[in-house]
Amino acid sequence: MKKKIFFIMVITAFVSSALTITGLCMLFNIDIQGAINLGRLLSAMRFIEAQYVQDVDKDKLISGAISGMVRSLGDPHSIYLEPKLYSQLKADTSGTFGGIGVYMNFKDNGVQILNVIPDGPGDKAGLKTGDSILAVNSQPVSEIEYGEVALKIRGEIGTPVELLIHREGEEDKTYTITREIIKVQTVSSKMLDDKLGYIRISNFSENTGKEFKAALEGLENENMKGLILDLRQNPGGVITSCVEVAREIVPKGPIVSVIQRDGTKEVYTSDLEKPKFPIVVLLDQNSASASELLSGALQDTKAAVIVGTKSYGKGSVQTVIPMFRDDGLKLTIAKYYTPNGRSIDGVGIIPDVEVKLENPLPMTRELDTNADNDAQLRKAEEILNEKIS
């Protein structure tokens, strides 16, 4: 009788699982191989629940499975967002957030600081461009998903965060930094002489388009004849702001195309008849994402000469997908292409004129445009003067 009862239980469980899998397959239009894989996943979960040495949290199992799937993509820009991280990410999109005032990216399997916002908490604490973050609150970044590092550094205003920093030629050091509200002025400008104007964009935020237009009009009112656009150490940002800037200086036609896996394409265009003056763009290895898109559009349309070193090479698009328990997925869904159809992802922008610097320039609120060691800026001035004359 016991064997019979056990046999009935096994058959019931099998039939129940089969019906569950069949129903899910029909709901999500899954083929036979997909059904087999779904069966593997459910079998593993059931086995863990039944046989693991202690009770398990089913929600935690599912979250771990989702996180593992995303990690298997090998894409540092795609991550699973647990409720706390998802909540932080939603708060950050407002443009004003609690943080330490640095921009980061992933380099050599680590996290590197690309830019330090002048007068921000990180700047006041002594962080510098080029520093590598080894740990956040004593947790090594090697144990954290790359996309989560920034979210762990941000937090409640007035609370501290500890960063273990590696700097070339120095011993590793721990910095304790108090989070503040970060408000960024992204555009600065000046006349270098009576002919050449200079605009620096530190990153692309929601207000960058308006800031750039105001700066450009101001320089034009001072009879600017040529423009140097400095995008060095610019980590990118909001693509719509990048497009707003591009429409002021990129000639009529496509600026950038966003293409998904199925071929769906969204094209951003400019209606500008022609540029009003010659332009030189400054790039370096830390110019990424939106700064590369703008540079690529100017390069492809022959509207500017690119000077400096090859850029970072981030040309992918992420979207945030809400899940069902206040969690979410940040997933790469498309790639950017320049007007000539180039993908910059993993490639970067190759400058028209390569000029390397022996030592990286400190990026302060007002770059020292008179610095003798800024060979890139000096070359840009030389090129523009030749074009004007």
Query: Is residue 366's pLDDT more than 60?
Result: no
In a domain, 68, yes or no: no
* Cα gap 303→243, rounded to integer Å: 15
Structure tokens at 373: 């060691």
Q: Which residue has the higher pLDDT, 366 or 51?
A: 51
User: For residue 168, which of 211, 112, 123 has the smallest C-alpha distance?
Assistant: 112
In a domain, 71, yes or no: no
Inter-residue contact 81 to 327 (CB < 8 Å): yes
Inter-residue contact 268 to 321 (CB < 8 Å): no
Question: Could you give the number of structural domains in the chain?
Answer: 3
* Cα gap 254→264, rounded to integer Å: 16
The pLDDT assigned to 137 comes to 93
What is the helix, strand, coil percentage profile of the chain, to 5? 35, 25, 40
pLDDT confidence band for 223 (50 / 70 / 90): very high
Inter-residue contact 291 to 204 (CB < 8 Å): yes
Same domain, 196 and 142: no
The pLDDT assigned to 129 comes to 84
Give the DSSP per-residue string, 332-347. EEEEEE-TT--B-TTT
DSSP state of 366: S
Q: How would you classify the pairing of strands 110-116 and 132-136?
A: antiparallel
Same domain, 191 and 303: yes
Same domain, 156 and 50: no
Q: Residues 284, 300, 327, 374: which is the catalytic one?
A: 300
Q: Residues 189, 202, 270, 289: which is the catalytic one?
A: 289
In a domain, 84, yes or no: no
Can you give the CATH number for the domain in which 175 is found?
Answer: 2.30.42.10
In a domain, 73, yes or no: no
Q: Is 289 a catalytic residue?
A: yes
Chain segment 91-125, per-residue pLDDT in tens:
554 545 678 988 887 766 678 887 788 788 999 99
In a domain, 20, yes or no: yes
Same domain, 149 and 103: yes
Q: Residues 314, 316, 327, 379: which is the catalytic one?
A: 314
The domain boundary, picked from 182, 216, 242, lies at 182
In a domain, 29, yes or no: yes
Chain segment 8-51, per-residue pLDDT in tens:
655 665 556 566 666 666 666 666 776 777 778 888 888 888 88
Same domain, 46 and 19: yes
Same domain, 135 and 246: no
Chain segment 132-187, per-residue pLDDT in tens:
999 999 999 888 876 678 878 888 888 899 999 999 889 999 999 999 987 778 89
* Cα gap 357→348, rounded to integer Å: 18
Same domain, 147 and 216: no
Query: Is residue 3's pLDDT more than 70?
Result: no
In a domain, 74, yes or no: no
Place of tokens 């979207």: 319
The pLDDT assigned to 91 comes to 58
C-alpha distance across the termini of the chain, in Å: 102
Same domain, 338 and 246: yes
Same domain, 132 and 219: no
Same domain, 101 and 16: no
Can you give the CATH number for the domain in which 352 is found?
Answer: 3.90.226.10
Place of tokens 């809400």: 322
Average of per-residue pLDDT across 338-363: 88
In a domain, 87, yes or no: no
Same domain, 243 and 169: no
**Contact residues for 52 (Cβ-Cβ < 8 A; gap 6+):** none
Same domain, 287 and 225: yes
Q: Is 300 a catalytic residue?
A: yes
Which range of residues forms the domain containing residue 354? 187-388
User: For residue 348, which of 295, 281, 298 has the smallest C-alpha distance?
Assistant: 295
